[in-house]
Structure 1
Amino acid sequence: MIRTFLNKTFGIRDGEIYISFLMQIYIFLIINVLLIIKPIVNALFLSELGAEQLPYGYLMVALIAVITTYFYNRWVKQFSFLRVTSLSLLFFSFSFIALGLIITFANLGEWLLYTYYIGVSLFAVITTSQFWILANLVFNSREGKRLFGFIGAGAIAGGIFGGYLTSLIASAFGNVTAIIIAGIFLLVCIPILRKIWSIRIKRLSSYVRAQRKYQDTETQEPAYKIISKSKHLTYLALITGFGVIVAKLVDFQFSDFANKAIRDPDELASFFGFWFSSFNVIALCLQLFVTNKVLSKLGVASTLLILPLGLAVGSLLFLTFPELWVLVIIKGIDGSFKQSLNKAAVELSVMPIPFNIKNQAKSFIDVAVDSIATGLAGLMLILFIKRFDLPTTYITVIILLFTFVWIILIYKLREAYFNSFRQNIRRNLVKDSIKDKPHRKETAIGLTRSVLQSGDEDEILAILDRFSIYKIRTLRSEIIALLDFPSNKVKTEVIKQLYKYDKGVAIEKIKPLIYSNDDQLVQAALSYILEHSSISQYSFFNEYLDHSDPYISSSALLCLSEEISDNQNLSKRFNLEQRIVTRLNDCFINDDELRAAEISKLLLTIANAKLEKYYTYINVNLQHKNPIIVKSAIEAAGLTSNEQYTKILVQYLAEKPYRKAAINALKNYSSAIANTILKLEKNDELNNDAKRHIPTLVRSFNNQKSVKILMRLLKSKDVIIRFEATKALIKLKSQNENLYFNKRRLKKEIIKECRYGKETLDALASIRHMLASDVSNNLNIDQKRELKIARKSIIVVLDEQLITSLKSIFKLLALLYDEADIEVSYSGLMSEVKEAQINALEFLDNLLQSQLKEKILPLVEYYNVNSDDTSVKSQLQIEFMSEYELIRSLLAKRGKRIKLEVLYLISTLKDKSYRTLVHKQTFQKNKEVQEFAIKTLAILDQQKLVNH
């Protein structure tokens, strides 16, 4: 019950409770100490030296911090993180206890006041920085997003407790007692730190090694150089700096107004303690109930904007009402949001940085940058308050200016943050091969020329095939020279290439090729001569139609049929129809003696002539035993553009040998075939192998109607068609930038696909539960085995459909977002590398809009990252169904393949309660499902008779 509460309320999952509470107690004690020491030291400093000395304190903090950072970074490189942190806690503990003794037995001089004022500032940045580095090491980015809110609540609770404790103890027992208690609290932190290290860091040693394996010479450079080479770290450092400057300016205004209003040191300490604690109460509420939700909804970058925007609004209010109560509000915004929303977002923003760099750079940012910014704030205060003697209300204008720059930097950080995740995903993925560097254009042409001059047949044909969509004039002489190549295939392809050059190129070399006794070469040569020579059409056909060589005469007849679309007089003059009839008669008489090429040419001639009464010859040869003739019949059917062939040609998509021919044939119908395709799909009359190639066909039309048809195919019950449709849409978008894609419609399709994936997971969980808890005691061993096989068959199909559905989701996302970002995310999610999966999830979490994120991330996380985690299952709200509900759902919502598997399961169960469901399937438009449903119904009826 407690686990469920922690999971639902704070997002804490199994195995994270103990470590989360340890981390929370650790930061609770650190901040508790800070909120005890800081009000006391601040009150002593202000009482003895006055608010006008604060700017000098800020400058000294900056100077000492830079020196401290230099030595601290050397210690970090030489000693372990555990040792450095433990020694830091010991040093500050003894220093605070010494302060209590000094106050008791001696007087605090000016230099000691400055020393402890600086020491408290360093304590705040060093110990909290160490804690968050530890948190970054203990938790990954996904865990951090869920748990930093809960853990950060410990810091805020420490602030509340420490502030009120200071107010209580300082009033009742004096400041010394409070300081001694603070020193003892710090000593308690050390065993907690060591416990965290022993139970978590050692278990994650492989992760640490994985992070450190990327360490190179750059990490041995000074921290400021490491930061300057990374846009991510640079923007983070600047954001930290501007945030600190604004905070110090706000703090000065608040302290100055409070000091003028309250003169007694103990009362002033009590005032500070009360308000600091009150601010932390607000921060605690935000942290517990708002932070995680805001981070999930807005992402890291947008969450970072909340604090500067709030301070800007508060400053504008102060310009109107320059009073203490307004400063309390501004300080409240800074104190509440900074320690809750902003702190969690900042710590998450550094997550993508590798640990070895993070340890060095973050320490520098948290200590040096923070302190240097404090010093700059001091300089500004000295300049404006001392030099120009301006009222402190003028500081508000500076605050507004700095918050404006702060907001701009956050927008800059967003893209750098995404880039860091991209780099992490790529770095963590296992590379199967290294991509070659692109060749320069001159090098590519040189290699091509070499292949054309000395390559073999296959190499040359491959080059010519790539040239089929463009021409390179610099290779003209090499291409023409190939007309002397021994291979007739090469010569045929070369002739096709020559159409791209000037009319009549190499005509004298082509004319002799018509006597080559190679059907394809003769056809290509004659077509080129007809198109590119000076000979008239009439002279051409007079010379070649009645040629004694059958290779030439049949090719010339095919050329005639191709020309009549532009000149119908040719058909009458040369008796095209009579010539076709003569050749058809020859085919019936000498069918066994005719070459396949002659039959193929005759089929194409009939198709070009558009003589429907002879289409039966095409119909007959669509069933021919010779694959060459079948391909020609398919091509001929496409040339006719006759509606009777559309369904036949679509079914040929299922057969690999004829698939390319069928796709090319169907292209002749253009987008007019759309309604036929949609009707076949709706009636579930398409073969599974045919389905996957229909979107490719539709894509080939390359127009806006293609997009419309593919979007309609996304509504298909068959996940294969939906996936292929998404692939086709991606290619259409890349090929034609002018096409319009309705983003609102795409979002709806993504959400619908997510719903399909969720239903698939529900079905899988239900049927696996049935397998694990099978209580079919009334069945014999063979029946149980058969039932188990039937259920496992459904699992196999559902698993395949789930994977295909996930692919579809990411393809659709690529239409809404940058395709490269989605591809790298999908690669990371599907990787076996844990860190790649986590980085990909976090990248998507920040990239996607909230509505899509809420649907996609739980689905992906359940499937791929934490499918065994019961808290993830509860987050996705997996629903277990009874077998009857499952079968009813699958029969109602799924396509042919799953329906057949479910009907087989019903026939195995032999349960008559399914009779109504099976009976409905006998009315299915798909004949295969209909026939199997009738057989299943017969089995159930037979079982009913046996029972009677």
Structure 2
Amino acid sequence: MKKVLAGLVDVRREELPRILPLTLAYGLVMASLYVLKPARNALFLDQLGVAQLPYVLMLVALIGGGVAAVFTRLIRLIRLDRLILGTFLFLMINLLGFRLLLPYGWGWSFYLFYVWVNLYGLMATSLLWLLAGVIFNPREARRLFGLIGSAGIAGAIVGGAFTSWVVTQVGTENLLIVCVALLGGGLLLLLRVRSGGEVSPREEKKSSGALADIGRSDLLQLLGSMAALTAVVAAVIDVQFNDIVDRAFADKDAKTAFFGQFFAYLSGFAFLFQIWCTPRILRSLGVVSALLFLPLSMALGSVAVLFAPGLAAGILLKIGDGGFRHSLHKSAVEILFLPIPAAVKQRTKVLLDTTVDNLATGIGALLVLVLTAVLGVSYQHLGFVSLALVGLWVGLVIRGRGAYVDAFRQALDRRAIDLGELTVEVDEAAALDSLIASLDSGNERQVVYALDMLISLRSRRLARAVRPLLQHRAAEVRQKSIRVLCNQAEELPVDEIEGLLQDEVLEVRVEALYCMCRQDEGGIEMRLREALQSGDPKLRSAAVGCIAAHGTEAGELVDDAFVEELLADRSAEGEDNRVQVARILGNLDRPEWRLYLRQLLEDSSPRVVEQAIGSLGAIRDPEQIGWLLDRLGDRQLRRAARQALAAYGPAVLPALRRCLLDKRVDPVVRTGVTRVLSDIRSQEVVDLLLEDLDAASPWLEHLMIKALSRLRQGGGSLFFEPRRVEEILARQVEAYYQLFEGLQLYQSVDGEAPLQLLQKVLREKQAQVQERIFRLLGLLYPPQDMHRAYLGLVSGQARL
């Protein structure tokens, strides 16, 4: 199974233990949800009728927002692995309880069950996506989240189809027992994703200030208006669709079977459309045209219900909402968010996804209630309301095109799009236009930035625009232009790229040779062998660099004789070759070659030594930990040594701890250890620092708290035990108070220079303790807020 999975998608071997159980678990959770949804709809309609649906939708809107807020708070307070375990067990017990409760036929129980299923979907799926966000970095997420989402769609298809198939045999209520089994299976898989309880959520995304952000941005106003109109129209359509199904099927199990089959086909349609059509629509028509698919499809369905009412019209009506909303429309909205600064996006996206969506759904349900229960409008004629809202929606989208294009261009000019956090492709038509235009910029950094965003894209226009950059004066531009062109389906400018094999910059030569190797019918190995055996030193060094930079595909070309020859090379290209050999030794990690690596650690070239140190981190040679610790005291090599030690991960913690607490060790080295600890993003590091703070001297205590603060500010999967932090915080507050009393005492006495010096020392110590207090508060509360509060306090300005 793992081999099949790795062949279908771009999954690295080391990612399989994380991605495989998480993907399967998400599929099971979505299958359970799409078993529950048909059961929920059918039970509610059978027992209470469609006239009660607007009331329950309003209830969902009211309760959903409150539960989301409470759930978000729990995510901050409870470690994610424990929260997942507790939530899944709680949901499984709830399912068993509803199985016992629903047969009594009490009206309130069906209201409760309807609302609960919505909350079930919110809690179970959000926890899994939160876990995915914790265990995968943004670059991994870009490759892997599509796989997880596809598993969810597959689960929805299977869940719906299974419901349609078995409901007539087992009955609607007994489907809840099936969901218990599915959820239990998902939980068992999730327990394999992480061990040791290291998982904790990233910092919550606050919505404070989001309204002000929306007020300042035309693009955010467009997004907010679309989110509201989408939810209102979806609520109207939902009522109409359920009314049509209620009249078409009299039997409860028949309703359940239809809903199950419909949801299965709808999920399949959404999946196929997302795979085959969404990329083509975004590339050819652009994001604004893509945004029109959802409202226009809703309008088409509303027209069908108005003038040709029946089950077929109802299906067409719901296809727009269920088919496009979570495929093409969602992708288009994600692209619209690209030019929004990350901090603003975090605040506003939470507001739009929760508060606005819930509020608008409630408004839509209230509108249906007023029109049908008060004014006597039939469910069929609610289509006129949908058409009016869609007209407003389409007008907003067309008017908003300029806002998106302007925002994207401004973001490119400011280089405000964080490439490390980018999880969507930017091959949408207008975005591609802006990126291609940026390639003509006289600003070298902006050209490099645009090329970084274009590396994974393919387009005929892109190949024509990038080709002139092969002659750019900046080496980095030439290098990345080769990479972009090599990824295109168009015929390569072979002569120009081969000419770059003689470039003065090694990195450009390496990229050019690798590109030619990928195009060579004889394969990478043959081309590299020819380059290594050539008498051209530039080509030879490019081949060595290519082997070092691009993995072990040609690892069989590297043997003892090859390594020893390059180590002995003292020509003009020799230093570059030794740097690349050090890199190769780190990539291949053959134990018998570690002697060569130790030889490179004594090289006369600092570049060679730094690369050899980096390779030590790559192979995690335990015998060299002590040597690396000593290099923390070397001004020239300490940075490379810190990075190498951090690459060892938790395995190096015992040695770091001994060094940290040994008072005989040079303070400079101990200071470097705290920096290394802050670079190892592991729960063991947090626990170690919190535990050992009591044994630390004041100067070391300050550095350890700074290390904790850096770990916290980096976000990710770390949990800071509140009680332990509060204990340390109380001690710091007490120390601050004692210093304050001492300072007040000495300030009340006129003294000579020694006394003034003492006062200065006390003030400096007080400032350090004050800094530690706010850093510790940042472990308990949002660190950005605590940092701003600290800056306001030390500024001395009352208004801050």
- Provide TM-score, normalisation by structure 1: 0.43
Q: TM-score, normalised by structure 2?
A: 0.50
Q: Which has the larger radius of gyration?
A: 1
